[in-house]
């Protein structure tokens, strides 16, 4: 504690340790509206403490003393765009790991292995990880696709795109370097094939996989402007839970438009219930929520 006071002026030291006042209803509603308008993400009343904590950490970092002052900085300040990007990163980046949902990745492998081989000789297989965070999911998809191509005795003609609203997350994903704990529970042979040791207890993705994966910043509210089309696989898990039901349907419709005929869409369990996306056929699976785009829907 003494060390902290040596590094800060008395006023700064007091501010850095001072507890922020609780966020009142009007302030919470204001932040709720801003987040939903700009990102589509809905924060329920139960998530108010999550918002207070993350706003408070950032406010202390920049020396902002009230929620209203920080709101004005985000909306009208001279550095509003950069500050908004920083805040969105804090609020949206979730803990993830490689092979997070084994059932879903097994389904992807089964899908690829049962396609006609000629399809992969004619054109590269394209996969898209939506809401990819720091890259574990798209890299996992690339490993799966590489394994499948090997089993089919085909050249590894495939590409994976990862997209996320958080620019810092995308930048980290591009580095392809991860803490070794992200590999916990992963098959040892897969680890040996696709990772190599790096500095300070980290590992990095081998170049043969990194070269197959690219990353781009994308807000799912702007899917109508996304350049992705004719995708064979779209993987979108643990993203839709943050949106209202009507918006989930809109997002899934947009994603379906970007699937190639016969393409596969994989969502998280429970993210979309009691609704059949038009033009898609539900796959019979107890553990994975997935659809195939009907061949007749080719435009």
Higher pLDDT, 274 or 137: 137
HSE-CB of 170 using CA atoms within 13 angstroms: 19
Average pLDDT of the residues of the chain = 86
Question: Of 23, 37, 24, which is closest to residue 88 (Cα–Cα)?
Answer: 37
Max Cα-Cα span within the chain:
71
pLDDT at residue 35 tops 50 = yes
Average pLDDT score over residue span 134-141: 95
What pLDDT sits at residue 160?
Answer: 98
Please tell me the pTM assigned to this model.
0.81
Higher pLDDT, 75 or 15: 75
pLDDT one-digit tens code per residue, 175-201: 999 998 888 878 899 999 999 999 888
What pLDDT sits at residue 86?
Answer: 83
Give the pLDDT band (50/70/90) at residue 19: low
pLDDT at residue 248 tops 80 = yes
- CA–CA distances in Å: residue 72 to residues 41, 66, 69: 20, 10, 5
Question: Of 188, 108, 172, which is closest to residue 146 (Cα–Cα)?
Answer: 108
pLDDT at residue 116 tops 80 = yes
Reading phi first (left if > 0) and then psi (alpha if -120 to 50, else beta), residue 243 is in: beta
pLDDT at residue 120 tops 80 = yes
Average pLDDT score over residue span 23-38: 89
96-100, 206-210, 218-222, range with the lowest pLDDT: 96-100
The answer for residues whose C-beta is within 8 angstroms of residue 210's C-beta and 6 or more apart is 139, 176
Average pLDDT score over residue span 263-275: 85
Average pLDDT score over residue span 108-118: 93
pLDDT at residue 80 tops 50 = yes
Average pLDDT score over residue span 3-24: 50
């Amino acid at each position: 504690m003494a060390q902290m006071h040596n590094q800060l002026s008395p006023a700064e030291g007091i501010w850095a340790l001072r507890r922020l006042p609780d966020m009142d209803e009007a302030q919470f509603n204001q932040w709720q509206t801003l987040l939903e308008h700009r990102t589509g993400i809905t924060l329920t009343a139960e998530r108010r403490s999550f918002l207070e904590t993350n706003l408070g950490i950032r406010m202390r970092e920049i020396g902002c003393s009230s929620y209203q002052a920080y709101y004005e900085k985000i909306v009208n300040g001279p550095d509003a765009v950069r500050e908004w990007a920083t805040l969105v990163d804090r609020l949206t980046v979730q803990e993830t790991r490689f092979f997070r949902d084994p059932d879903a990745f097994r389904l992807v492998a089964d899908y690829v292995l049962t396609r006609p081989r000629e399809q992969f000789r004619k054109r590269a297989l394209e996969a898209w990880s939506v809401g990819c965070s720091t890259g574990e999911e798209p890299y996992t998809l690339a490993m799966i696709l590489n394994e499948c191509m090997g089993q089919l005795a085909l050249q590894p003609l495939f590409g994976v795109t990862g997209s996320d609203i958080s620019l810092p997350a995308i930048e980290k994903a591009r580095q392809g370097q991860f803490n070794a704990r992200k590999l916990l529970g992963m098959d040892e042979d897969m680890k040996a094939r696709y990772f190599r040791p790096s500095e300070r207890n980290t590992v990095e993705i081998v170049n043969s996989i990194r070269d197959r994966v690219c990353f781009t910043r994308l807000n799912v509210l702007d899917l109508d402007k996304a350049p992705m089309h004719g995708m064979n696989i779209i993987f979108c898990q643990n993203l839709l839970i943050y949106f209202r039901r009507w918006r989930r349907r809109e997002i899934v419709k947009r994603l379906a438009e970007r699937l190639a005929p016969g393409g596969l869409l994989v969502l998280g369990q429970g993210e979309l219930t009691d609704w059949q996306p038009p033009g898609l056929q539900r796959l019979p699976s107890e553990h994975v929520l997935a659809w195939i785009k009907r061949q007749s829907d080719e435009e």
